[in-house]
Structure 1
Amino acid sequence: MMSSCFWSLQLLLLIILLFPCHLRLHAFYLPGVAPADFQTGDSLHVKVNKLSSTKTQLPYNYYFLSYCKPPRVTNSAENLGEVLRGNRIENSVYAFKMNETESCKVACRIKLDVVSAKNFNDKIDDDYRVNMILDNLPVAVPRQKVDRMGEKSYERGYQVGFKGTFEGRKERSYFINNHLNFKVMYHEDLEAGTARVVGFEVTPLSINHEYKKWDEENTKLTTCKAGKTTVFGANSVPQEIVADNEVVFTYDVAFESSNIRWASRWDSYLHMNGDQIHWFSIINSLIIVLFLTGIVAMIIMRTIYRDIANYNQLAQDEVREETGWKLIYGDVFRPPENSSLLCVHVGTGFQVFGMSLVTLIFALVGFLSPSNRGGQMTAMVLLWVFMGLFAGYSSARLYKMFKGTDWKKMSLKTSLMFPTFLFAVSFVLNALIWGEKSSGAVPFGTMFILVLLWFGISVPLVFVGSFLGYRKPAAKDPVKTNRIPRLIPLQPWYMNPLITKPFGGILPYGAVFIELFFILTSIWLNQFYYIFGFLFIVFTILIVTCAEITIVIAYFQLCSEDYRWWWRAYLTSGSSALYLFLYSIYYFCSELEISKLVSGILYFGYMLIGAYAFFVITGTIGFLACLWFLGRYILQSRLIDKCQQ
């Protein structure tokens, strides 16, 4: 039965594998943001987002630097996810009208003081980029070359400035990008006479503007060509960043008709890494993992069926002596040490697993699109809160199976253990971010909301779930547990927990390590992650591998007459989190350019949280699979054997 289910699951995965390309790009446009129709002359307002850097991982407010400010700065409505990710969306001075070209339009004039100049220089040293938004599209900088498919590739945001030499100087100077060439691409509806914005590009330049007389309303710059889209030659003088220097910010606007439809306007943004997605490598990895899991399933089926056949084949004149796992059947379901802690971890695993699975399904069908900024983070927080009901129910059911009595104390531990760890680490990291004056710090008002969700909704739901779970009749053990525990013989060296636990985490980690690279890239290198079709397949394979490797090791452990499988089953598949954290160290050293101590602490702090969440997910999957398998196959076969005798 299990074998047929396993091959049916593999067939389902192969079917899903045939159409991930459709799932990865187009599904999330279903709910999306409603398209905005513009007519010629309608106003377009550019909003400014955060200053971001992959070197520091510390976002800053756009107006942290001395950029042009409108008379009144207003914040756009932000959801919980945007606040947690440090997004601060505000209005700006950049505004233009649909299909009306602008040439060298003056935004403002700023005189740099010592502090302003230093802030610009520091941000240039740290490779900060400016992020803007037009009609919910992020600004993108075209790269110099196209990718192998002939498609144009982009980078998110434009650089604050650059360092270089000028006029024969030996020392390197700092130059600011004070002129922006905007290009707005639109798709026109000829019947309705309207257009929709489908692209937003910018080319930054550094120009030392000159003028004869400053007029707040209509300044004529001698460095611009009147009436034409500004094009500066190679001999243009860049704007150096020096205290007491005057900087004039300008911009051009050009409009270009495009065949890209509004529903596909995010496609080019999702290909910002060009050849980022190595399709053949991912497919190859999935096939290898499927092959390995098939081998593991066949080995265990053959081994168990052969053992059961041998044990049940009794001679007419003699009785075969019991050996292996049949010798300790009366101790297999003996409650483990620290059983309440195991119940807490299983309940927490249910909660995090449910949150991850539902979030992935929502992203897969299209409810969490990149256009909905912060939507994924908001969904994860709310789902984690409401999944407390399942955490309490599952932990209480297991606790009653272990004949526990103080279910309220156990429920309190379930509701506090993982969130306390998460809150403690996040609080320390948030304090470091506050010390750097970064906009990525979570405001105290938002922290209060998170604590309110925790104690006001999650904790009560855990107790409600525990109450419902504890009222249910206790799950009956397949066999009666002996009163006196059997002596465990000396174990062979290869069954040492220090060997079996790390070995058991290799296969689950192998199922996700390629996808892990792209996930880390999207998080720490400011890229979009969108291949949810492949992620769903990898997540499914992770479940299968965690279950199989745990069952295999637990079976060989019972064959060695060691019945202490409860914690080992949890830690066997959960040890894959150790490899995940070790890979994060390798990724930090090989892919990232983080040099600041605070940034490094932030990276490893967040990766520690991710590794712990991965531990409780994989550990719970392996434990429940082992629990089901032992009761359904191993010990049930023992009962059949007893009846035959």
Structure 2
Amino acid sequence: MEPGASANREPLPLTSAPTRGSKMAASGVLGTLTYALALLLWCQGASCFYVPGVAPINFHKNAVVEIKAVKLTSSRTQLPYEYYSLPFCQPKEITYKAENLGEVLRGDRIVNTPFQVFMTIEKKCEVLCNSLKEPLVLDKEKSKLIAERIQEDYYVHLIADNLPVATRLEFYLNREEDKSKDKDIQFEHGYRLGFMDNNKYYLHNHLSFILYYHREDVEENQEPNYRVVRFEVIPQSIKLADLKADENGVCTLPEAASSAPQEMDPTKENKLLFTYSVRWEESDIKWASRWDTYLTMSDVQIHWFSIINSVVVVFFLSGILSMIIIRTLRKDIANYNKEDDIEDTMEESGWKLVHGDVFRPPQYPMILSSLLGSGIQLFCMILIVIFVAMLGMLSPSSRGALMTTACFLFMFMGVFGGFSAGRLYRTLKGHRWKKGAFCTAMLYPGVVFGICFILNCFIWGKHSSGAVPFPTMVALLCMWFGISLPLVYLGYYFGFRKQPYDNPVRTNQIPRQIPEQRWYMNRFVGILMAGILPFGAMFIELFFIFSAIWENQFYYLFGFLFLVFIILVVSCSQISIVMVYFQLCAEDYRWWWRTFLVSGGSAFYVLIYAVFYFVNKLDIVEFIPSLLYFGYTALMVLSFWLLTGTIGFYAAYMFVRKIYAAVKID
């Protein structure tokens, strides 16, 4: 989701995503929206800045502009491969760039290529390796491999000065009213390895590079500085017989109308030449804005107005729910506190009648507190990552930074997860704090590591670069047991020693009998009802997130994501309060586990949306890609359930303590 050596020095612009806000009159919850929108607009209007140590690279005329390869990707297989897994031309010495954790986990294997590109020096056509007299000969096995990759719709990803290569796509739109044609320009990440026509495979063996540069103002008598601001490619397939090349490797391209494409027959040897050309164009785009083109590549079918509209609808629905429950609660508390009507009140049904059981510890308090501790760990990590990314510090230009930061933050947030889990465990009358701390540190991360390890075995079997190398896996385990585990124990120790949460009423020794519940109080019905509102707050953003993960798009809407996260927290909290209020009114005091489960109900809708996205948006038919999709989706759903369940649980816990502290209990 993010695109490292000098080529990794990239600016970190303060802007995130274009945001538009409107004035919304309301207090309380809507004030949060106003503040968030003001913050986003401030980010939008602020000037760009550069983080210390991160600066643009200035090139002089004839300076080498290195072209590096990143990987091969396909949305059909979800299996990235390194560049030289196919028989491309290789330089004399292959050098892999030292990558950060996020790049390794994403399957990036950045390596040098034999392309020779010099600033402002154009090349009409040049043979990459071999010659016309001795063309590259691919045996049957290599030809079959290339044909398979073409059939699987693989893209090749290159970078120049850390800018990813893009293929320009132009569409002409007819307007009936004026009979004119409008040109709609879009960009694809990377370029297609080849194409199919009549069940034949054709390889793009000629690359026409178009590099745009911006001339920087310098003092007199100084050599001008140039900065790369865009990197495009036009891939072509040209048959060997139509290429004319001399002994120096200079070739002549045939006219487009008279040339035939380079076929790759998987049943026999194939002879071909890899060629390339370079064209430079001056651009008015400044270096700080050079990523703007790449961050609008995806086909955005959902406009900003739709997102703002859903934000307003969700907040007004939340406001209505808040008004209803506050008015009802005020009436209940006023009735319960009338001293002359105590006898009548005690005969009524309602949430006050279960005051002696509402804080009775639930079953499996250790597991509940451990899950909630992991939820707090996730919440802190996500909040910090989204906020920092919104400020531009984890933009796609910082390749791998987002995932690296998320991994390290989750480890360090273990101290907060352990503290909250330890204090809650003591509140629930738990005594085995060491076992509770071990459960908190191992339960959720153990499930995540187990699923990822199983999926990684399948990726290893496919020899994909997406497989996590063994040294990286050992490093992750060392981070888990060397950073996260001790911090969880430390936080748990202090949380368990701290005074437990002060409950406003005492718990009876004998549990109260729970009356028969109506059908709509069923747990599964509650999950379905409670999950609609939070899912409605963020399902539009899911489209962009899934596109970034599964269709190799850049995700850059962190400003909106921060706003959606705030809405998610508010809506989860309010719907959880409403559900626990209805449950207590039905004299069912078993709310601890139920609130956690029901508050995470939106995760069920995320799962349904993931299945819908798989069927309608992706062209995955093979077993292992499908297994990878649903395996990683299961981890996303589990994490989202923990996050929303934790938010709802603590909101409901605060609400329950508040209402029982507001009434007079005999």
Q: What TM-score range do you get, normalising by the shorter chain? A: over 0.9
What is the deviation of 1:24?
7.3
Q: Higher mean Cα deviation, 569-578 or 485-494?
A: 485-494
CA distance in 1 between partners of 2:372 and 2:574 (Å): 18
Number of the residue aligned with 1:187: 214
Q: 1:24 to 1:605 in 2, by over 3 A?
A: farther
CA distance in 2 between partners of 1:516 and 1:305 (Å): 38
Query: Are 2:383 and 1:352 aligned?
Result: no
Query: Are 2:78 and 1:57 aligned?
Result: yes
What is the deviation of 1:8?
3.2
CA distance in 2 between partners of 1:146 and 1:33 (Å): 40
Contact 2:376 2:420 in 1 (8 A): yes
Which residue identity is paired with 2:496? Y
Can you give the 5+ residue segments of structure 2 that lack an aligned partner in the other structure? 1-24, 131-135, 174-180
3-state SS of paired residue (1:36):
coil
Number of the residue aligned with 2:410: 384
Number of the residue aligned with 2:65: 44
Write out per-residue CA displacement over residues 133-178 of structure 1, whole angstroms, 9 at most, x where no aligned residue: 000000000012389997742100111111125xxxxxx3211111
Query: Are 2:224 and 1:218 aligned?
Result: no
Contact 1:51 1:59 in 2 (8 A): yes
3-state SS of paired residue (2:311):
helix
Contact 1:30 1:367 in 2 (8 A): no
Which residue identity is paired with 1:261? K
Contact 2:227 2:287 in 1 (8 A): yes
Residue in structure 1 matching 2:300, options 275, 294, 316: 275
Contact 2:243 2:254 in 1 (8 A): no
Residue in structure 1 matching 2:263, options 225, 236, 240: 240
Q: 1:49 to 1:276 in 2, by over 3 A?
A: farther
Q: Higher mean Cα deviation, 42-51 or 232-241?
A: 232-241
3-state SS of paired residue (1:182):
strand
TM-score scaled to structure 2, two decimals?
A: 0.89
CA distance in 1 between partners of 2:45 and 2:73 (Å): 25
CA distance in 2 between partners of 1:572 and 1:420 (Å): 24
What is the deviation of 1:235?
1.7
Write out per-residue CA displacement over residues 238-272 of structure 1, whole angstroms, 9 at most, x where no aligned residue: 11113322211111101000010000000000111
Q: 1:488 to 1:236 in 2, by over 3 A?
A: same
CA distance in 2 between partners of 1:24 and 1:274 (Å): 22
What is the deviation of 1:496?
2.1
CA distance in 1 between partners of 2:516 and 2:457 (Å): 51
3-state SS of paired residue (1:504):
helix
Number of the residue aligned with 1:209: 240
Which residue identity is paired with 2:475? I
User: 1:352-501 alignment to 2 at 5 Å?
Assistant: 352-501=378-527
User: 1:84-233 alignment to 2 at 5 Å?
Assistant: 84-109=105-130, 110-145=136-171, 152-165=185-198, 172-191=199-218, 193-210=224-241, 218-221=248-251, 224=252, 232-233=255-256
Contact 1:29 1:366 in 2 (8 A): no
CA distance in 2 between partners of 1:379 and 1:149 (Å): 43
Query: Are 2:89 and 1:68 aligned?
Result: yes
Contact 1:24 1:531 in 2 (8 A): no
Number of the residue aligned with 1:309: 334
CA distance in 1 between partners of 2:534 and 2:124 (Å): 57
Contact 1:146 1:153 in 2 (8 A): no
Number of the residue aligned with 2:22: none
Write out per-residue CA displacement over residues 35-56 of structure 1, whole angstroms, 9 at most, x where no aligned residue: 0111111111100110000111
Number of the residue aligned with 1:330: 356
Number of the residue aligned with 2:595: 569
User: 1:26-41 alignment to 2 at 5 Å?
Assistant: 30-31=50-51, 33-41=54-62
Write out per-residue CA displacement over residues 587-636 of structure 1, whole angstroms, 9 at most, x where no aligned residue: 1001000111100000000000000000110000010001111112x111
What is the deviation of 1:510?
1.4
What is the deviation of 1:476?
2.1
CA distance in 2 between partners of 1:118 and 1:28 (Å): 49
Contact 2:355 2:660 in 1 (8 A): yes
Which residue identity is paired with 1:256? E
Number of the residue aligned with 1:290: 315
What is the deviation of 1:489?
1.5
Contact 2:422 2:433 in 1 (8 A): yes
CA distance in 1 between partners of 2:608 and 2:345 (Å): 48
CA distance in 1 between partners of 2:92 and 2:187 (Å): 32
Which residue identity is paired with 1:218? N
Can you give the 5+ residue segments of structure 1 that lack an aligned partner in the other structure? 166-171, 225-229
Residue in structure 2 matching 1:16, options 13, 36, 39: 36
Contact 1:51 1:129 in 2 (8 A): yes
Contact 1:153 1:268 in 2 (8 A): no
Write out per-residue CA displacement over residues 291-347 of structure 1, whole angstroms, 9 at most, x where no aligned residue: 111111111101101111222234489764353111111111110111111101110
Q: 1:558 to 1:610 in 2, by over 3 A?
A: same
CA distance in 2 between partners of 1:146 and 1:445 (Å): 50
Write out per-residue CA displacement over residues 437-486 of structure 1, whole angstroms, 9 at most, x where no aligned residue: 11110000000000010111111111011111111122221111111111
Contact 1:28 1:368 in 2 (8 A): no
What is the deviation of 1:274?
4.3
3-state SS of paired residue (1:94):
coil
Q: 1:86 to 1:22 in 2, by over 3 A?
A: farther
CA distance in 1 between partners of 2:70 and 2:341 (Å): 83
CA distance in 2 between partners of 1:441 and 1:159 (Å): 23
Which residue identity is paired with 1:160? L
3-state SS of paired residue (1:7):
coil
Percent identity of the aligned residues? 46
3-state SS of paired residue (2:129):
strand
Q: 1:613 to 1:492 in 2, by over 3 A?
A: same
Number of the residue aligned with 2:4: none
CA distance in 1 between partners of 2:407 and 2:505 (Å): 41
Write out per-residue CA displacement over residues 550-573 of structure 1, whole angstroms, 9 at most, x where no aligned residue: 111111111111111111111111
CA distance in 1 between partners of 2:231 and 2:411 (Å): 37
Which residue identity is paired with 2:187? Y
CA distance in 1 between partners of 2:572 and 2:342 (Å): 44
Contact 1:21 1:533 in 2 (8 A): no
Number of the residue aligned with 1:227: none
Q: 1:36 to 1:25 in 2, by over 3 A?
A: farther
What is the deviation of 1:638?
1.8
CA distance in 1 between partners of 2:507 and 2:342 (Å): 30
TM-score scaled to structure 1, two decimals?
A: 0.92
CA distance in 1 between partners of 2:430 and 2:86 (Å): 60
Total equivalences in the alignment: 622
Q: 1:23 to 1:153 in 2, by over 3 A?
A: farther
User: What's the C-alpha RMSD, in Å, of the aligned pairs?
Assistant: 2.3
Which residue identity is paired with 1:284? N
CA distance in 2 between partners of 1:151 and 1:24 (Å): 26
Write out per-residue CA displacement over residues 523-566 of structure 1, whole angstroms, 9 at most, x where no aligned residue: 11111111111111111111111111111111111111111111
3-state SS of paired residue (1:203):
strand
Q: 1:393 to 1:135 in 2, by over 3 A?
A: same
Which residue identity is paired with 1:255? W
